[in-house]
Structure 1
Amino acid sequence: MPQTASKKPPIGLAIFLIIAGAIGFAAAFALTLDKFTMLADPTAQLSCNFSVLVGCSTNLGSWQGAVFGFPNPLIGVAAWSVVITIGVAILSGASFKRWFWLGLNLGVTGALVFVIWLMGQSFFVLDVLCPWCMVTWTVTIPTFLAVTLYNLKTGNIPVPARVRRAAAGAYSWIFVITIVCYLIAAVIAQLQMDFLHRL
């Protein structure tokens, strides 16, 4: 029978959510401030602009930077605040129902899909690497992996026992899996943008 909740609080996951959330929030907040700076002075030189290849202005000024009609970083400010709160709540002894974990999984899955789309836009359309955006990408990927594998291994996502065992094994290899994901993204960016020769 699927296990709907882990008997032992996922302290490691909680600590990770707090750290990842704090990093993601800082990046989103910095991008939000940069957007305000651009709105006040469209010619302003942002601190995150290092070259034609590496900078935030192009992304923030594009339609891709405001997909839902407002700056994308505002989504990050709100979403990462929730992630931090969940981590703190777990450390404080909170125990969440299965529906909550599924809702969180849906949220991080949506975040991953959005990030992959934004990466594609940066690599193939905008031809620029936004530093703060890349920070967001780097924490979104392991956050998705950690939450999803946790839900699979604990049975919050109902799957056969063999899948739960595989997820439990993969859970301890999240760092390695994350590095592989980074390398795949870097290879794609290099093949499309040739960024190593343009830095």
Structure 2
Amino acid sequence: MTDAAPASRRPWAYAIFLIIAGASGWWASFQLTLDKFAILEHPKTALNCNISPFVQCGTNLNSPQGSAFGFPNPIIGLGGFAAVIAVGVTLLAGARVANWYSWIFNLGVAGALAFVIWLIGQSAYVLGTLCPWCALVYLVMFPLFWIVTLRNAAHGVFGAAITPAGRALLPWAVPIAIVCLITVGLIFQLQLDVLHHL
């Protein structure tokens, strides 16, 4: 990191977005972590997120997919979304970051989205449930990925050759994310008829 940039150059809207997105994802991960603790303490406990047999988080938390790396997935969220908040606060404070820093952050966000897409498939097609707190993570991750990636492209993080495309696509980041989220919603609706089971 270099010295603080003038306040007028601070990407305050982007920084605030990262903080809000990170906090939302962290809160969902925290709630899932509490639910996992509750299940470990009392396996038959009724979780607040268990709305119906098809809309619940208990099945997801107790499944092998819920501990894909040998420990509960929400722990990944606690650390990962805290990092998103930290980056947002860093930018809001006026710090400028090197390209390699943005590269690593983007790579982490892309990896997180890939994991989330895998979990969406497992939840919809294998477990047959929609986890409410997981749905909040979905709502966060798609906008987070597209806004971070296209902003980095527009600001030359991936090289000058990609910058024009990044600048052209950046205004479309939110619409693209909305299309992705609608697609996810349709997958769950067509597979589980979620609206009927709320």
- TM exceeds 0.5? yes
CA drift of 1:183 comes to: 1.0
Q: 1: CA distance between counterparts of 2:115 and 2:160? A: 26
Q: Which amino acid aligns with 2:100?
A: W
Q: 1: CA distance between counterparts of 2:193 and 2:131? A: 15
Cα RMSD (Å) of the superposition? 1.4
Q: How many residues align?
A: 191
**Structure 2 unaligned blocks of 5 or more:** 1-7
The share of aligned pairs that are identical, in percent, is 49
| 2:67–2:73 Cα contact (<8 Å) kept | yes
Q: 2: CA distance between counterparts of 1:189 and 1:170? A: 28
Q: Which amino acid aligns with 1:165?
A: P
Deviations 1:123-176 (A, max 9, x none): 10000000000101110111111110011111101252xx42232232222221
Write the mapping of 1:15-164 to structure 2, written as runs, cut at 5 A: 15-158=16-159, 160=161, 163-164=162-163
| 2:9 match: secondary structure | coil
Structure 1 length-normalised TM: 0.92
Q: Does 1:177 align with 2:185?
A: no
| 2:130–2:188 Cα contact (<8 Å) kept | no
| 2:156–2:163 Cα contact (<8 Å) kept | yes
Q: Which amino acid aligns with 2:11?
A: P
Deviations 1:24-62 (A, max 9, x none): 000000000000000000000001000001111000000
Greater Cα offset, 182-191 or 99-108: 182-191
* Runs of 4+ more than 3 Å apart: 196-199
| 2:151–2:170 Cα contact (<8 Å) kept | yes
Q: 1: CA distance between counterparts of 2:160 and 2:123? A: 36
